[in-house]
């Protein structure tokens, strides 16, 4: 079975290849997505190393002059997707969206480079290193409103956890009166019960429209945008990525960047406590404007291990929360704790399991010496694919696949992690 599934996983990546980049899945997502491509590179690396590097190089071809790596690169127009390039209207070549996505690239580049012998002269690593330095500086310049090393997002789509309940209160304040009419495309590809609601979608579009009206002025959006959240996931991922970028900077003898990154890492390590919710016993996303914590335990809360933060007491509480999740979930790690408001085991990021987040959580737990938990998560992830195939996400209760089928990053996670 492993053999067959590995074969199938490779076929999915080949089939979703559009020439130098993969689409997340046929139909629902017809372009190149930022963090999808980073994880997809890990999958390709298992059988075609050149293609793995290429996936990231193609992504970087869309990087903006200010350093931002966009969340979508629209290499070719496709009428089956909304909001497409004409809606974003960023005026870039290649056409891109105007927002970013989780900064996991430096972590992946480090892995590809180390797996090939960690040669400091590796030209592909060196080029991508420069792109990562620029991108991390963009985050530090535009997305650290409190100066404490955490990451602010200005659109919920940036988090990659699009409709997580963490954003509900902030989204409810977004004025949608000027949104106008538009035609959604996602619900034509998959069951509407698995996608965000119409009210939610209006808010997403309203935030997009604010960015477009500002001419995609990232300073204006950061200071006055309608959605300003400190995201647990991105904060943890950037801290981790800074640590990995530091290893590259050291190998290259880039002393100025080494010093810069060390300072950022120290700042973020101390800053992370701003997200800690003592009553809940977890790191939770928090609204910049109101200071309110979501108070919700999500799969991103457990990225603390991956980021290397948390006192022994905080880590114990996080493990207790993970243990609590096993009470209602047959499989780990649900994207939202059952029993929380808005939990729904089928709806996108309000319950379903996403293997890329599980992979990072498992990775962090293993590194922190919690091999038993890491193995439990890896085994559960494997079972989900064996049971249902390479779906976008999975119900933590039944293991049924949700969202799109034949998903690139799910195939990549099989090849690089849980199917090994």
Q: Active-site residues: which are they?
A: 162, 392
**Dihedrals phi, psi of 268, to nearest 5 degrees:** -70, -40
Binding of ligand GLC by 36 (CB under 6 A): yes
Binding of ligand GLC by 33 (CB under 6 A): yes
Nearer to ligand GLC, 30 or 362 (CB): 30
Cα–Cα distance, 287 to 308 (Å, whole number) = 23
- The stretch among 28-36, 43-51, 288-296, 327-335 that binds ligand GLC (CB under 6 A) is 28-36
Q: DSSP string covering 222-271, please? A: HHH-S--EE-HHHHHHHHHHHHHHHHHHHHHT-HHHHHHHHHHHHHHHHH
The angle formed by the CA atoms of residues 59, 162 and 311, to the nearest 5 degrees, is 90
Closest distance of CB 412 from ligand GLC, Å: 12
Cα–Cα distance, 217 to 414 (Å, whole number) = 39
Nearer to ligand GLC, 167 or 373 (CB): 167
Closest distance of CB 255 from ligand GLC, Å: 35
Closest distance of CB 3 from ligand GLC, Å: 27
- The stretch among 5-13, 27-35, 136-144, 245-253 that binds ligand GLC (CB under 6 A) is 27-35
| From candidates 16, 17, 22, 24, binder to ligand GLC by CB under 6 A | 24
Nearer to ligand GLC, 18 or 317 (CB): 18
Nearer to ligand GLC, 36 or 406 (CB): 36
Q: HSE-up of 12 (CA within 13 Å, CB side)? A: 27
Binding of ligand GLC by 220 (CB under 6 A): no
Closest distance of CB 395 from ligand GLC, Å: 16
**Dihedrals phi, psi of 154, to nearest 5 degrees:** -115, 5
CA proximity to 373, closest of 272, 283, 280, 304? 304
* Residues present in the chain in total: 420
Cα–Cα distance, 315 to 309 (Å, whole number) = 8
| From candidates 35, 210, 276, 343, binder to ligand GLC by CB under 6 A | 35
Nearer to ligand GLC, 17 or 260 (CB): 17
Bridge partners for 277 per DSSP:
282
Cα–Cα distance, 18 to 76 (Å, whole number) = 10
Closest distance of CB 313 from ligand GLC, Å: 32
Coil, helix or strand for 82? coil
Number of residues that bind ligand GLC (CB under 6 A): 7
CB neighbour class for 144 (10 Å; exposed up to 12, middle 13-18, buried from 19): buried
- The stretch among 29-37, 119-127, 140-148, 227-235 that binds ligand GLC (CB under 6 A) is 29-37
Site string for ligand GLC, 338-367 (x = CB under 6 A): ------------------------------
Nearer to ligand GLC, 27 or 308 (CB): 27
| From candidates 21, 29, 39, 306, binder to ligand GLC by CB under 6 A | 29
Long-range Cβ contacts of 140-143 (<8 Å, 24+ apart): 140/264, 141/67, 142/66, 142/68, 142/218, 142/219, 142/222, 143/222
Nearer to ligand GLC, 314 or 393 (CB): 393
Looking only at residues 150 through 169 of this chain, which bind ligand GLC when binding is defined by CB under 6 A?
160, 162
- The stretch among 31-39, 85-93, 115-123, 314-322 that binds ligand GLC (CB under 6 A) is 31-39
- The stretch among 33-41, 89-97, 189-197, 324-332 that binds ligand GLC (CB under 6 A) is 33-41
Nearer to ligand GLC, 35 or 414 (CB): 35
Bridge partners for 393 per DSSP:
402
CA 150 remoteness from chain centre: 15
Closest distance of CB 205 from ligand GLC, Å: 14
**Dihedrals phi, psi of 269, to nearest 5 degrees:** -60, -45
Closest distance of CB 49 from ligand GLC, Å: 23
Closest distance of CB 375 from ligand GLC, Å: 25
Crossing angle between the packed helical segments 123-142 and 105-115, to the nearest 10 degrees: 160
CA proximity to 38, closest of 302, 305, 409, 410? 409
Tell me which residues touch ligand GLC (CB under 6 A): 24, 29, 33, 35-36, 160, 162
């Amino acid at each position: 079975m492993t053999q067959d599934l590995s074969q199938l996983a490779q076929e999915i990546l080949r089939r979703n290849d559009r020439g130098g980049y993969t689409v997340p899945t046929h139909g629902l997502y017809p372009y190149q997505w930022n963090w999808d491509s980073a994880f997809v590179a890990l999958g390709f690396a298992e059988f075609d190393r050149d293609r793995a590097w290429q996936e990231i190089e193609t992504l970087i071809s869309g990087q903006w002059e200010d350093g931002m790596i966009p969340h979508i690169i629209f290499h070719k127009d496709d009428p089956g997707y909304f909001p497409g390039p004409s809606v974003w209207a960023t005026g870039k070549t290649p056409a891109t969206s105007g927002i970013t996505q989780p900064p996991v690239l430096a972590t992946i580049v480090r892995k590809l480079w180390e797996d090939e012998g960690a040669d400091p002269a590796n030209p592909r690593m060196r080029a991508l290193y420069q792109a990562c330095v620029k991108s991390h500086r963009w985050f530090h310049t535009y997305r650290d409103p409190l100066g404490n090393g955490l990451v602010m997002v200005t659109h919920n789509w940036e988090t990659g956890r699009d409709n997580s309940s963490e954003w509900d209160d902030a989204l409810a304040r977004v004025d949608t009166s000027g949104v106008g009419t538009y035609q959604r495309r996602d619900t034509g590809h998959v069951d509407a019960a698995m996608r965000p609601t119409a009210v939610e979608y209006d808010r997403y579009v309203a935030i997009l429209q604010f960015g477009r009206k500002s001419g995609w002025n990232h300073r204006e959006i950061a200071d006055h945008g309608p959605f300003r959240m400190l995201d647990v996931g991105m904060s943890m991922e950037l801290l981790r990525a800074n640590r990995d970028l530091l290893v590259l900077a050291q190998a290259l003898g880039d002393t100025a960047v080494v010093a810069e990154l060390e300072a950022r890492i120290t700042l973020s390590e101390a800053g992370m406590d701003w997200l800690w919710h003592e009553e809940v016993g977890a790191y939770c996303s928090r609204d910049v404007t109101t200071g309110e914590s979501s108070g919700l335990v999500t799969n991103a809360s457990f990225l603390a291990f991956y980021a290397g933060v948390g006192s022994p007491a905080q880590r114990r509480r996080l493990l207790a929360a993970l243990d609590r999740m096993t009470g209602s979930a047959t499989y780990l790690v649900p994207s939202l704790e059952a029993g929380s408001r808005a939990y729904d085991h089928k709806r996108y990021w309000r319950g379903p399991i996403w293997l890329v987040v599980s992979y990072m959580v498992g990775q962090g737990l293993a590194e922190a010496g919690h091999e038993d938990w890491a193995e439990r998560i890896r085994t559960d992830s494997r079972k989900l694919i064996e049971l249902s195939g390479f779906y976008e996400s999975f119900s933590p209760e039944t293991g049924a696949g949700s969202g799109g089928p034949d998903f690139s990053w799910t195939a990549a996670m099989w090849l690089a992690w849980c199917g090994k």
